[in-house]
Amino acid sequence: MADFNEIAKQFVAFYYKAFDADRTSLSALYRQESMLTFESVAVANVGNIIEKLTSLPFQKVQHRVDTTDAQPSGQHGGILVMVTGALMVDEEPKPMNFSQTFQLMPDGASYFILNDIFKLVYSAL
């Protein structure tokens, strides 16, 4: 069995590199049964997920990953991945903190995203 921490690390690096370069390329990582909750708005299936991601109101984005934690999940070889970090969009001078959680499921020799939850984290005043 492959090390779930190493799989999570490789997945996270690949996901954010692809997201920052071309969000449409992420369609290969989702399936019809996938679900994304982005800032409390849920969408299901790969087409709707990519439509949501490509309709986000920014042109340029760069993610910085600060932490990645992973656990094996379920009896079918899934991996739960939690990411925290910051992102810069367009010409905004201040990074925005975020948290993102993925439920990865095996698909042959690779994995796909079954569940994806993204949330911006605002500092408490």
Six token digits for residue 90:
């367009």
Over residues 58-69, the pLDDT tens digits come to 889 999 999 999
Q: What are phi and psi of 19, to 5 degrees?
A: -60, -45
pLDDT in tens, 88-111: 998 888 999 999 999 999 999 999
CATH number, residue 75: 3.10.450.50
**pTM, 2 dp:** 0.93
Which band of pLDDT confidence, cut at 50, 70 and 90, is reported for residue 75?
Answer: confident
Pairing of strands 96-107, 61-73: unpaired
- Report the distance separating Cα 40 and Cα 36, nearest Å: 9
Based on the structure, what is the number of domains in the chain?
1
Name the residue range of residue 75's domain: 4-121
91 exposure class (CB count in 10 Å sphere: 0-12, 13-18, 19+): exposed
